[in-house]
Structure 1
């Protein structure tokens, strides 16, 4: 096989077994198709992506409806530059404002406005209904618990996943 370095030349690839492939292939479809379906509906209803919705929802759940830009980026797994652009778009629409952090001049807060909260209150029921339809209505209670365990196990090494 070309492209194999000298260190890896003697190693035999550890292929996925039948059970792992049976889990992996459907997971790939879910990872690709679920965000697309959610994005499509949110774009139709509110003209936003799921990433923007996640930003607004995280702000709504935060104390005083505000988070530092760094914390919001971490919670939404968004790069700082992408977050800056997204918050600018959300600001233009009147759903978020930025405020300086009084204790750290280098930090800024993203703050959910009343208009942003009203938007969430309007679109959240449809979003939750879609999530139920696409995910939770298809699972037993035991599968929901298993999904929570699997998701937690996969998210736990977030630094590893992000390292590529």
Structure 2
């Protein structure tokens, strides 16, 4: 069992981690909204932009979204003509989400500023510190997955 100092340090870390995430996330969300998208729409577009066509059934797991919400988000992005649904030729049960040409061009336009904003927001840490943070947070996340 942890001693009192250990417990207090854990609580402090939780608060600092939560506040840091909120600060970064609020800034990134504002930027995404300036593109006329919500964070979930952007996450779907970013996934397709970087990983290519994706089965609708797997998108939720890759961007941490409930499968029922994916249909709604894909509908909205289809209305904006940024993606289309494409039936799998070998399995009628599978439908892929695919960026349209308009969607590709749009992501090519907005992603560089998105990437630059995240780099700016995290610029307080140097390269080595970012590496340490990545390693420590990955270690923490993986250990929690065991519970």
Query: Are residue 31 (structure 1) and residue 21 (structure 2) matched?
Result: yes
Alignment check: 8 A CA contact 1:100 1:108 kept: yes
Q: 2:107 aligns with which of 120, 123, 141?
A: 120
Secondary structure of the equivalent of 1:109? Answer: strand
Runs of 4 or more off by more than 4 Å in structure 1?
Answer: 12-16, 157-161
Bigger Cα displacement from structure 2, 33-42 vs 108-117: 33-42
Deviations 1:105-154 (A, max 9, x none): 2221000111111111111121111101111x110222111121133234
Task: Say if 1:35 and 1:50, in contact at 8 Å, map to a contact too.
Answer: no
Aligned residue runs from structure 1 range 91-110, under 5 A: 91-110=78-97
Q: TM-score, normalised by structure 2?
A: 0.85
Query: Which structure is larger by alpha-carbon Rg, 1 or 2?
Result: 1
Question: Which residue in 1 is equivalent to 2:50?
Answer: 61
1-side partners of 2:143 and 2:58: how far apart?
18
Query: Among 14, 23, 36, which residue is 1:47 paired with?
Result: 36
Distance in 2 of aligned mates of 1:92 and 1:103: 27
Gaps of 5+ in 1: 1-11
**Distance in 1, Cα, partners of 2:68 & 2:143:** 23
- Bigger helix fraction: 2
CA change 1:117–1:99 in 2 (3 A) is: same
Q: Judging changes above 3 Å, is the alpha-carbon distance between structure 1 residues 100 and 143 closer, same or farther for their aligned structure 2 residues? A: same
Give unpaired runs (5+ residues) of structure 2.
Answer: none
Q: Give, in angstroms, the shift of residue 158 of structure 1.
A: 8.3
* Residue range with higher mean Cα deviation, 14-23 or 106-115: 14-23
TM-score computed with the length of structure 1 as normaliser: 0.77
Native 8 Å contact 1:39 1:50 kept in 2: yes
